[in-house]
Structure 1
């Protein structure tokens, strides 16, 4: 069994395999990277919320200087969040697909989910323009259905990403977790087969020699 992927190694693999959509990714690689995202983004989110509170309180009390300061903090942290999300968009999706591969599943479901997210995002944008206050009952119903769809997709993704690696080698490559174990077992099986065949061959040769001696 191979060595587990560590916390620092997961970050290195994430950037090293930026556009790798073909291999496999273990649970530890996927969830350690999720923890890295939390570490990177949580401080920015906290500062963004602080900036929002400072801006609202500043303008509400007519302290324009305080309000502007809060607005600046919001803008800076907001830009950093956007840049980080854009920079990690492709490797995140690549890691997501490799995690599916590691469980023996194709990239079809991730592609379908991506299409669903894009279509529903466009629908929400249209709703914000046509019915910004959600006064129409059909808009509310459609929004609820889409949120339920998001919930179902999220639960499915969570379950798949928590599954253990498929032990055997699949069409996406050898298991990073069980690869060496199965390789050694396979080699051991081949050695046993060879030994058995060798013994059978020796027995056959011995029997043949005895028969020849009897004939003489």
Structure 2
């Protein structure tokens, strides 16, 4: 199993690797890292706002709040841009580990990215339809991220261990045959 620190190292070492696999532990350790980073970032913002409220005059207060908000916005934006590619790579590797085909993974990731950015108010029927589609795509992605490794391999492809066929001849006798997956050319 991947440790907390090993997941962090793998995240940066394999930041542009879209072809491999990542385990559930590796993915969710990085989610924990992201939550810790967000708490630190928001804690810094809250702490600086507290200091501004209690240690600044009204003219300085407005100027300092503006500078801090802009600074934290820029910092958040830069961190978000830096993390887009490694996070997408980790998500693709995690979904591949569950047994999804590559084209299905990319359809889910791209739809989630495009549809997840809507700011609709539900005034029209098509806005409601897009919101429902967004929810379904996000739900499919979440289910894929929490599934066990190779849980979607129905035909024995990409399995770490070969499939076993068991035949029951009589109630007291069983015969097992190891089936090797077919190799693709």
CA-CA distance at 1:76 after TM superposition: 1.4
1:187 paired residue number: none
1:76 paired residue number: 71
2:91 paired residue number: 96
More helix by share: 1
Q: Secondary structure at the match of 2:11?
A: helix
Aligned residues, how many?
Answer: 159
What aligned pairs does 1:15-26 form with structure 2 within 5 A after superposition?
15-26=12-23
What is the TM-score normalised by the length of structure 2? Answer: 0.69
Task: Measure, in 1, the Cα distance between the counterparts of 2:102 and 2:45.
Answer: 35
Change (3 A) 1:170 1:67: farther
Q: Gaps (5+ residues) in structure 2?
A: 163-176, 178-185
Higher RCO (CA-CA < 8 Å; seq separation 6+): 1
Q: In 1, are the aligned partners of 2:19 and 2:93 still within 8 Å (CA)?
A: yes
2:106 paired residue number: 111
Task: Measure, in 2, the Cα distance between the counterparts of 1:54 and 1:150.
Answer: 40
Aligned match for 2:149, one of 165, 182, 201: 165
Q: In 2, are the aligned partners of 1:52 and 1:71 still within 8 Å (CA)?
A: no
Change (3 A) 1:170 1:14: farther
CA-CA distance at 1:137 after TM superposition: 3.6
More strand by share: 2
CA-CA distance at 1:114 after TM superposition: 4.0
Q: In 2, are the aligned partners of 1:54 and 1:69 still within 8 Å (CA)?
A: no
Q: Gaps (5+ residues) in structure 1?
A: 128-133, 184-192, 194-216
Q: Secondary structure at the match of 1:24?
A: coil
Larger radius of gyration: 1
Higher alpha-carbon deviation: 43-52 or 141-150 = 43-52
Change (3 A) 1:53 1:151: farther
